[in-house]
């Protein structure tokens, strides 16, 4: 098993009792309707049921509902007998929701999967298959479910030359060279996998955009992909380079106030929609890290975003405008900049603009407090940007179960409208009655046979999708479903490996950046430790900027005595972070510069506590290895050994992190390691001398 099938393994169900109970409930499958979406739903059911039940399930027609059947089709395709048994269910779902219900026809139990639209039916079909994959009962079903967030997209940071920025799973799966004529079967499997978890959009190309994607030659290729994805309810979006009117349009400016520029974008958008009528819209990184934007012309984010929004409005497209900005002119605290630049514009963006905000104010660290923009722009739709690819978390080598991180952010209370104003409620629009809602995950997918470069990291793609559908799901539930669908339902496997996944996020925090440390990764590629780096051209690209270690202590003072970044949070949150007594220890050095002798809650000094955390991280990886060894009987050889080798590298690298960071910080603390922390066998100079010229994803 090379892992290609992801969580859609559909393995034969060995337990005879469970299998026969399923078989007796599903004697026939009966599609209502024959749209492309219903056809793929039928195909998926056949694939899943034949795989899991081992016997070929018969298909039937609407007119022959005799035995126990599984029927599926949208509301408009249902007959009165079925409709009457569904009660008010359709009132409880939105356009993408579904109902799965056991009803009775001709004295026999029948299962109906339906929704307002075919795509809801498809989501219902995947949910139904998951019930079987996870060995749940399918007697007396009555499931009503619908996504809580509208735009649920993957962001591919894929370049047109097939390299992937921050991609650690091979090259891009988009074979631009052979598109549009060659349709790799992987595109369909990609769409199936996404639809199975409710992802309904994909941004195909890198936020550091290449204007060529908007040329007719490339739009044809984009169209071909959109055609593959359409039956699966997946819309295509593109990133746009703000200077495209100059680069491919032959204009002299890209000023959003210029009439020719405005007309150019309008025509371009029209051209796109003539090829792709359900095109989703644009994702834009502007005036950030060297990307062009409206500020190049003395305009602002509102001017830029609204100009594109106007072009998209007639077609129903959206602009996802990123808030990942930090200016080189104001270097006091990078963490404050997105808020300062965007919050004053609240209420000025067009209705089809949504601001895409990273989960934290710096950049996808192993742990960051939630971004202070959440809840601060009540009149502007804000969408979440999570990173699925592990730029700062050991890339595709380290097993880190990210739903735990996502859950922590989504459940954080912003207090922006009093207690209970969680980030999840901002993202799903319920806190401020937002119509346009969204969530994006920077994809970890490449052309590796197992998609993500490490079979365990498929869980992060899966988990992102599940939380995009329902941001209130628990990471535990997600781990459980994923393990059962991907590997085995045996409790002796599920229980320990679930514990392993759930603790893996804290492990990486411990061995990389405990107690609120951040951005101390080596430079450029962000792989491995580099807390000593101090020579990059922009101060805020240097790790020393973030940890500020000196002989007195360590940490970034973001309280009123320092950068006062905490003032961007609601008063309740700000005072919690400001006060050393109440600041969560896990965020301590994010918000405070504290002395090496500062007393932690466990009575240890900061230095000792930090050293012990690094050691704990290493020990946690060691126990992940033992758990995985025990899991051997339940996992096929190939995936077992892949994960096993990777965990062993992770263990080695956790020690590398521990040793390099402790040796470095020790130069400031001048203290010896506490009992229980292993001593490095290498010198600090050795760690500093390591070079990774060809680290991936750079």
E-state strands within 131-204 = 142-145, 151-155, 201-203
Closest contact distance (angstroms) between CB of 287 and ligand BDP is: 11
Does residue 593 have a cis peptide bond before it, meaning omega lies within 30 degrees of 0?
no
**Residues 181-220: x/- map of binding to ligand BDP (CB under 6 A)?**
--------------------------xx------------
Count of residues in the chain: 698
Measured from the CB atom, is 69 or 389 closer to ligand BDP? 389
**Residues 495-524: x/- map of binding to ligand BDP (CB under 6 A)?**
------------------------------
Smallest CA-to-CA distance from 507 within 386, 404, 642 is with 404
Closest contact distance (angstroms) between CB of 291 and ligand BDP is: 8
Catalytic, 391? Answer: yes
How far apart are alpha carbons 234 and 279 in whole angstroms?
10
Rounded alpha-carbon distances, angstroms, from residue 103 to 83, 140, 261: 10, 8, 58
Give the residue at shortest CB distance from ligand BDP. Answer: 363
Let me know the angle formed at the C-alpha of 479 by 477 and 484, rounded to the nearest 5 degrees: 100
Catalytic residue of the set 363, 408, 428, 481: 363
Measured from the CB atom, is 101 or 285 closer to ligand BDP? 285
| Residue count, binding to ligand BDP (CB under 6 A) | 10
Smallest CA-to-CA distance from 547 within 591, 609, 483 is with 591
Closest contact distance (angstroms) between CB of 229 and ligand BDP is: 24
Catalytic, 333? Answer: no
Out of 150, 221, 285, 651, point to the residue binding ligand BDP (CB under 6 A): 285
Closest contact distance (angstroms) between CB of 541 and ligand BDP is: 10
Does 165 bind ligand BDP (CB under 6 A)? Our answer is: yes
Out of 279, 364, 461, 596, point to the residue binding ligand BDP (CB under 6 A): 364
Catalytic, 363? Answer: yes
Tokens of 112: 């109906």
Q: Are 59 and 85 in contact (CB under 8 A)?
A: no
Out of 19, 130, 156, 166, point to the residue binding ligand BDP (CB under 6 A): 166
Closest contact distance (angstroms) between CB of 508 and ligand BDP is: 17
DSSP 471: T
Closest contact distance (angstroms) between CB of 288 and ligand BDP is: 6
Measured from the CB atom, is 453 or 562 closer to ligand BDP? 453
Closest contact distance (angstroms) between CB of 549 and ligand BDP is: 23
Measured from the CB atom, is 365 or 399 closer to ligand BDP? 365
Tokens of 96: 């993408």
Closest contact distance (angstroms) between CB of 385 and ligand BDP is: 8
Measured from the CB atom, is 125 or 286 closer to ligand BDP? 286
Measured from the CB atom, is 289 or 597 closer to ligand BDP? 289
Measured from the CB atom, is 156 or 166 closer to ligand BDP? 166
Largest CA distance in the chain: 82
- List phi, psi (to 5°) of 634: -105, 0
- List phi, psi (to 5°) of 289: 45, 45
Residue 177 buriedness (CB in 10 A; 0-12 / 13-18 / 19+):
exposed
Measured from the CB atom, is 363 or 506 closer to ligand BDP? 363
- List phi, psi (to 5°) of 421: -85, 65
Q: In whole angstroms, what separates CA 310 from the centre of its chain?
A: 29
- List phi, psi (to 5°) of 334: -55, -30
Measured from the CB atom, is 253 or 327 closer to ligand BDP? 327
Q: In whole angstroms, what separates CA 491 from the centre of its chain?
A: 28
Catalytic residue of the set 66, 161, 289, 351: 289
Query: HSE-up of 455 (CA within 13 Å, CB side)?
Result: 25
DSSP string for 194-242: HHHHT--EEE-S-SS--GGGGSHHHHHHHHHHHHHHGGGT-EEEEE--T
Closest contact distance (angstroms) between CB of 150 and ligand BDP is: 22
Q: Are 479 and 402 in contact (CB under 8 A)?
A: no
Closest contact distance (angstroms) between CB of 464 and ligand BDP is: 16
**Dihedral (C-alpha) 368, 369, 375, 381: value to the nearest 10 degrees?**
10
Tell me the chain's radius of gyration from C-alpha atoms.
Answer: 26
Query: HSE-up of 227 (CA within 13 Å, CB side)?
Result: 13
Q: Are strands 151-155 and 382-387 parallel, antiparallel or unpaired?
A: unpaired
Q: 306-345: which residues touch ligand BDP (CB under 6 A)?
A: 324
Closest contact distance (angstroms) between CB of 165 and ligand BDP is: 5
Out of 118, 391, 522, 540, point to the residue binding ligand BDP (CB under 6 A): 391
Q: Are 20 and 13 in contact (CB under 8 A)?
A: no
How far apart are alpha carbons 410 and 374 in whole angstroms?
10
Which run of H or E residues covers position 339?
helix 337-342
How far apart are alpha carbons 45 and 22 in whole angstroms?
13
Measured from the CB atom, is 333 or 557 closer to ligand BDP? 333
Catalytic residue of the set 145, 341, 391, 448: 391
Measured from the CB atom, is 368 or 616 closer to ligand BDP? 368
Chain contacts with ligand BDP (rule: CB under 6 A):
165-166, 207-208, 285, 289, 324, 363-364, 391
Residues that are catalytic: 289, 363, 391
């Amino acid at each position: 098993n090379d892992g290609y099938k992801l969580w859609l393994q559909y393995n034969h169900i060995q337990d005879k009792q469970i299998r026969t109970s399923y078989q007796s409930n599903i004697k026939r499958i009966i599609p209502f309707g024959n749209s492309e979406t219903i056809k793929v739903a039928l195909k998926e059911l056949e694939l899943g049921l034949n795989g899991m039940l081992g016997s070929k399930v018969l298909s039937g027609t609407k007119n022959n509902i005799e035995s126990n059947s599984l029927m599926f089709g949208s509301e408009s395709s249902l007959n009165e007998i079925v409709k009457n048994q569904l009660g008010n269910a359709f009132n409880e779902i939105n356009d993408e929701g579904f109902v799965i219900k056991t009803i009775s026809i001709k004295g026999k139990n029948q299962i109906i999967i339906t929704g307002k639209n075919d795509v809801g039916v498809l989501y219902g079909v995947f949910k139904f298959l998951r019930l079987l994959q996870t060995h749940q009962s399918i007697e007396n079903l009555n499931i009503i479910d619908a996504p809580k967030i509208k735009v649920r997209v993957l962001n591919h940071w894929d370049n047109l030359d097939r390299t992937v920025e921050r991609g650690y799973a091979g090259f891009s799966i988009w074979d631009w060279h052979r598109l549009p004529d060659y349709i790799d079967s992987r595109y369909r499997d990609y769409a199936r996998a996404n639809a199975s978890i409710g992802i309904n959009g994909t941004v195909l190309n890198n936020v550091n955009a290449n204007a060529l994607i908007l040329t007719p030659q490339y739009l044809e290729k984009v169209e071909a992909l959109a055609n593959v994805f359409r039956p699966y309810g997946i819309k295509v979006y593109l990133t746009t380079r703000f200077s495209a009117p100059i680069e491919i349009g032959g204009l002299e400016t890209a000023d959003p106030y210029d009439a020719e520029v405005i007309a150019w974008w309008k025509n371009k958008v029209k051209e796109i929609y003539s090829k792709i009528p359900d095109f989703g819209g644009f994702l834009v990184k502007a005036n950030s890290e060297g990307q062009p934007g409206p500020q190049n012309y003395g305009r602002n984010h509102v001017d830029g975003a609204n100009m594109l929004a106007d072009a998209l409005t007639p077609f129903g497209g959206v602009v996802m405008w990123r808030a990942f900005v930090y200016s080189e002119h104001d270097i006091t605290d990078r963490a404050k900049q997105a808020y300062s630049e965007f919050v004053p514009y609240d209420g000025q963006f067009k209705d089809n603009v949504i601001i895409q905000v990273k989960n934290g104010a710096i950049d996808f660290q192993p742990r960051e407090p939630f971004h202070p923009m959440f809840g601060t722009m009540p009149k502007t739709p804000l969408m979440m940007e999570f990173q699925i690819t592990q730029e700062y978390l050991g890339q595709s080598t380290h097993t880190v179960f990210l739903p735990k991180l996502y859950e922590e952010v989504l459940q954080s209370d912003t207090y922006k409208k009093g207690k209970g104003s969680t980030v999840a409620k901002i993202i799903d629009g319920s806190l401020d009655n937002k119509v346009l809602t969204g969530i994006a995950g920077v994809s970890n997918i490449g052309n590796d046979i197992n998609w993500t470069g490490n079979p365990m990291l498929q869980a992060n793609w899966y988990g992102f999708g599940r939380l995009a559908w329902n941001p209130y799901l628990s990471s535990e539930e997600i781990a459980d479903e994923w393990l059962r669908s991907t590997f085995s339902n045996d409790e002796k496997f599920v229980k320990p490996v679930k514990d392993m996944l759930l603790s893996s996020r804290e492990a990486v925090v411990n061995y990389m950046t405990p107690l609120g440390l951040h951005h101390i990764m080596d430079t450029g590629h962000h792989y491995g430790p580099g807390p000593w780096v101090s020579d990059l051209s922009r101060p805020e690209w240097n790790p020393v900027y973030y940890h500020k270690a000196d002989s007195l202590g360590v940490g970034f003072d973001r309280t009123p005595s320092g950068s006062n970044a905490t003032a961007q949070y609601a008063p309740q949150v700000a005072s919690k972070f400001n006060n050393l007594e109440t600041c969560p220890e896990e965020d301590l050095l994010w918000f405070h510069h504290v002395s090496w002798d500062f007393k932690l809650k466990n009575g240890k000094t900061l230095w000792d506590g930090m050293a012990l955390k690094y050691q704990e991280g290493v020990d946690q990886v060691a126990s992940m290895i033992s758990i995985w060894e025990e899991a051997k009987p339940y996992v096929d050889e190939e995936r077992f050994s892949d994960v096993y080798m990777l965990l062993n590298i992770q263990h080695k690298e956790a020690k590398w992190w521990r040793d390099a960071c402790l040796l470095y910080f020790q130069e400031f603390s001048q203290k010896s390691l506490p009992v229980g922390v292993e001593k490095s066998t290498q010198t600090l100079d050795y760690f500093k001398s390591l070079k990774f010229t060809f680290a991936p994803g750079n």
